[in-house]
Chain A
Amino acid sequence: MTAAISARGLARHFGPVVAVAGIDLDIPRASIYGFLGPNGSGKSTTLRMLCGLLRPTRGSATVLGHDVSRQAEAVRRKLGYMTQRFSLWDDLSVTENLDFMARIQGLDRAGRRAHVADRIDRYQLGAFAGRRAGTLSGGERQRLALAAATLHDPELLLLDEPTSAVDPQSRRDFWESLFALVGRGTTILVSTHYMDEAERCHRLAILDCGRIAAEGTPKDLARDIPATVIEVESDDLARARALLAEIGEVQSIAQLGTRLHALLPREAVEPERRLREAMVAAGLAASVERVGATLEDVFVAATRLRRDVQAAA
């Protein structure tokens, strides 16, 4: 089967600002594909180009076999889109919102009734079906938005930072719902800036400054990280950090809870020994270990290192 989405050299400029600088994508069907990146990395712009809301400045994209520029309407019929901001109607009730969207999606009366009832049940909206959407909590709104986006059983679901206004439990439940949809054959493209969410995706593209900085499964990305990760634990993290910063080979230092992760070049020789010696020489009690990369490290390696390289050049 062909890819659900494929893009070649897809780029979008807003005047002098380059939001997306030419990216290639091949997103397999019936999987969750994640865009991980900071704000302004081009996630939303890419999603909007893929659903025909924005025209690409350069390049092309095929979504479910249709060219997004020339066959936008054909794409729209097979697509469910959840915007970053809640975009259903605050002054309509849950049921009214769903019924309206079902009409807009062209479902007939019987289909409408069945689908609306099913989504209310599936996403546990029954308890407040008669309440206006404007009075719902973040998690409830998000379930309503997902219900609305899936009313017409779309083949592809585009979710733009769907969990930014939602508590952790709702986020977990939300991801369960996404996996259930994938089980039914839906392809899901989701943008996020949460590492734990990115970790759940089947495949992942790390976006930075409008480019794909790294791409692959979360596992492969961690394995193939172009750096050595050294974990430092100490009672005086601030001092440990200062010491690490003085070592020329340390490319970046990030704090993860009570630990520091230092990234060094892959070719560095016995880096943990050198760092340990530096700690001892300074009289700082610290444990220094070489560890496997987390997605956070991958992200830092893919984004910050590249910027440092650019800054140095």
Chain B
Amino acid sequence: MTWLARMLAIAGKEARQLRRDRITFGLIVGVPVMQILLFGYAINFDVRGLSAVVLDQSRTTLARQLVADLRATQVLGTVQQVDSESDLRRAMQEGRASLGIVIAPDLERRLFDGRRPVLQILVDGSKPSLENVAEGLASMPLLRRAGAGTAARPVEIRIEYNPARRTAVQIVPALIGMILTMTMVVFTSGAVVRERERGNLELLITTPMTRGQLMFGKLLPYVAIGLVQTTLILLLAWGWFGVPVSGSLVQLYLGALLFIAASLALGLFISTLARTQFQAMQMAFVSLLPSILLSGFMFPFDGMPRVAQAIAQVLPLTHFNEIVRGIVLRGAELADLRPQLAKLALFLLVMMSAALLRFHKRLD
């Protein structure tokens, strides 16, 4: 009972200090909001105002009508007419246009024929997610009003410069893990080293407090903060970006809890390694890089070399992303995600033990 009381005393003190540290307290809310808005928009599939070049080889009223309809969707911003295919390619090559629209000379015949595409949209594959834009344009009903109802796919899409199609990554759910990694590791990486720098630790370690009480007491407030951030991100994802949670919310939170604890333990371990807060901050960032690059957040996991995949297996974010995508997008159960949960738990155990072993109630 005294063990718990002392641990809670440390947790309470930590929470109180945190509340008084206005900047850090602001970051708890500010970082997730800023990141989800930045990432959410920057990696937005719903692109508008793209520049396009049109090569109208049919020069008919119908063709002009089609282009006007496409512009009305607001997906296209500036539309520039060109006279030859080489002009169109040059415009795209020079980056003046992201989309090229080619209307064949026999537009009307193709419309009624229904076997060959009416339009060809060329996409600059070097820019992410434009492919999806083209897909969106292609599926618009407006192209059918001209009487092309019989055509299964009235518009043909060709991806230029990037023949291999990008995996459609669902960014927003993956942001939960991303944001939690950034905030949790950075917050706790300073937790022990800050008290060491300020001299508080020299006093604390001459008391009967145990290292376990210190470590767990320091973690506890951040666990609560992590759950608040998770809620914030989920609310923004749902309210702002319209990402529904298909699976159980309770299970999602349980998964998040394990991931938060694992990230905090990593931060705590860093805090026992570093001698100054500055060192701790740098180490935290170094640990973030592989998480961002290798966890499948930015690049599809399957396409990575074997070594990178092996490293990714060690990162908690890799497994948490699987859990989140499973629960949020595919409506999976935690029971289906047992391997990922087990790996997270193992990471937590190893990091927490390492932090405890690294920390001594001595100065040497």
A88 CB within 8 Å of chain B: yes
Are B17 and A91 neighbours in the complex by a CB distance under 8 Å? yes
Residues of B within 8 A of A73 (CB): 208
Excluding A54-B363, A89-B17, 13 further A-B contacts by CB distance (< 8 Å) are A76-B207, A76-B208, A81-B206, A87-B198, A87-B200, A87-B202, A88-B200, A88-B203, A91-B21, A92-B13, A96-B13, A103-B6, A105-B207
What's the nearest-Cβ distance from chain A to residue B24, in Å? 11
Give the docked Cα–Cα distance between A148 and B203 (Å).
10
Are A54 and B362 neighbours in the complex by a CB distance under 8 Å? yes
Are A106 and B16 neighbours in the complex by a CB distance under 8 Å? no
A52 CB within 8 Å of chain B: yes
B38 CB within 8 Å of chain A: no
Residues of A within 8 A of B9 (CB): 100, 103-104
Residues of B within 8 A of A51 (CB): 206
* A89-113 interface (Cβ within 8 A of B): 89-92, 96, 100-101, 103-106
Are A103 and B5 neighbours in the complex by a CB distance under 8 Å? yes
* B1-22 interface (Cβ within 8 A of A): 2, 5-6, 9-10, 12-13, 16-17, 20-21
**Taking A87-B198, A100-B13 as contacts, is the C-beta distance between A53 and B205 under 8 angstroms?**
yes
A77 CB within 8 Å of chain B: yes
Give the docked Cα–Cα distance between A175 and B206 (Å).
23
Residues of A within 8 A of B205 (CB): 53
Centre residue among B16, B204, B208, B363 by max chain A CB count within 10 A: B208
B83 CB within 8 Å of chain A: no
Give the docked Cα–Cα distance between A133 and B142 (Å).
70
Are A87 and B5 neighbours in the complex by a CB distance under 8 Å? no
Are B17 and A72 neighbours in the complex by a CB distance under 8 Å? no
Q: How would you classify the secondary structure of chain A's contact residues: helix, strand, loop or mixed?
A: loop
Q: Contact flags (1/0) for A55-72 with B, using CB distance below 8 Å?
A: 100000000000000001
A294 CB within 8 Å of chain B: no
Chain B interfacial positions (CB closer than 8 Å to A): 2, 5-6, 9-10, 12-13, 16-17, 20-21, 198-209, 361-364
Give the docked Cα–Cα distance between A204 and B339 (Å).
65
**5 A-B pairs closest in CB distance:** A103-B9, A87-B203, A87-B199, A81-B206, A85-B199
Are A83 and B202 neighbours in the complex by a CB distance under 8 Å? yes
Nearest CB in chain A to that of B202: its residue: A83
Are B199 and A104 neighbours in the complex by a CB distance under 8 Å? no
Are A91 and B206 neighbours in the complex by a CB distance under 8 Å? no
Residues of A within 8 A of B10 (CB): 104
A128 CB within 8 Å of chain B: no
**Number of A-B pairs, beta carbon distance below 8 Å:** 72
Are B361 and A52 neighbours in the complex by a CB distance under 8 Å? yes
Give the docked Cα–Cα distance between A54 and B364 (Å).
6
Residues of A within 8 A of B21 (CB): 91
Are B208 and A52 neighbours in the complex by a CB distance under 8 Å? no
- 10 CB < 8 A contacts A-B: A76-B208, A77-B208, A79-B206, A83-B199, A83-B203, A85-B199, A88-B200, A90-B198, A96-B16, A101-B207
What's the nearest-Cβ distance from chain B to residue A98, in Å? 12
Give the docked Cα–Cα distance between A77 and B199 (Å).
20
Q: Contact flags (1/0) for A33-54 with B, using CB distance below 8 Å?
A: 0000000000000001001111
Are A89 and B13 neighbours in the complex by a CB distance under 8 Å? yes
Give the docked Cα–Cα distance between A106 and B6 (Å).
7
A179 CB within 8 Å of chain B: no
Q: Contact flags (1/0) for A218-253 with B, using CB distance below 8 Å?
A: 000000000000000000000000000000000000
**Taking A53-B362, A53-B363, A55-B362 as contacts, is the C-beta distance between A104 and B20 under 8 angstroms?**
no
- Taking a contact as CB atoms closer than 8 A, the residue among A54, A89, A104 that contacts B208 in the complex is A104
A86 CB within 8 Å of chain B: yes
Nearest CB in chain A to that of B20: its residue: A91
**Taking A52-B362, A89-B17 as contacts, is the C-beta distance between A104 and B204 under 8 angstroms?**
yes
**Taking A53-B363, A100-B9 as contacts, is the C-beta distance between A81 and B17 under 8 angstroms?**
no
Give the docked Cα–Cα distance between A51 and B9 (Å).
23
Give the docked Cα–Cα distance between A54 and B202 (Å).
11
Give the docked Cα–Cα distance between A89 and B199 (Å).
9
What's the nearest-Cβ distance from chain A to residue B31, in Å? 21
Residues of A within 8 A of B6 (CB): 103-104, 106
Residues of B within 8 A of A83 (CB): 199, 202-203
Residues of A within 8 A of B363 (CB): 48, 53-54
Residues of B within 8 A of A79 (CB): 206
Give the docked Cα–Cα distance between A269 and B209 (Å).
61
**Taking A87-B199, A96-B16 as contacts, is the C-beta distance between A104 and B364 under 8 angstroms?**
no
Are A53 and B13 neighbours in the complex by a CB distance under 8 Å? no
**Taking A52-B206, A87-B200, A104-B9 as contacts, is the C-beta distance between A92 and B16 under 8 angstroms?**
yes
What's the nearest-Cβ distance from chain A to residue B195, in Å? 9
Give the docked Cα–Cα distance between A79 and B203 (Å).
11
Are A53 and B17 neighbours in the complex by a CB distance under 8 Å? no
Residues of B within 8 A of A76 (CB): 206-208
Residues of A within 8 A of B17 (CB): 89, 91-92
Residues of A within 8 A of B5 (CB): 103, 106
Residues of B within 8 A of A48 (CB): 363
What's the nearest-Cβ distance from chain A to residue B93, in Å? 59
Nearest CB in chain B to that of A75: its residue: B206
Nearest CB in chain B to that of A105: its residue: B207
Residues of B within 8 A of A55 (CB): 362, 364
Give the docked Cα–Cα distance between A106 and B5 (Å).
8
Give the docked Cα–Cα distance between A301 and B343 (Å).
68
Give the docked Cα–Cα distance between A111 and B12 (Å).
19
What's the nearest-Cβ distance from chain A to residue B4, in Å? 11
Are A86 and B206 neighbours in the complex by a CB distance under 8 Å? no
Are A72 and B361 neighbours in the complex by a CB distance under 8 Å? yes
Residues of A within 8 A of B361 (CB): 52, 72
Give the docked Cα–Cα distance between A83 and B205 (Å).
12
What's the nearest-Cβ distance from chain A to residue B144, in Å? 66
Residues of A within 8 A of B2 (CB): 106
Give the docked Cα–Cα distance between A72 and B203 (Å).
14
Residues of A within 8 A of B200 (CB): 87-89
Nearest CB in chain A to that of B210: its residue: A73
Give the docked Cα–Cα distance between A52 and B198 (Å).
20
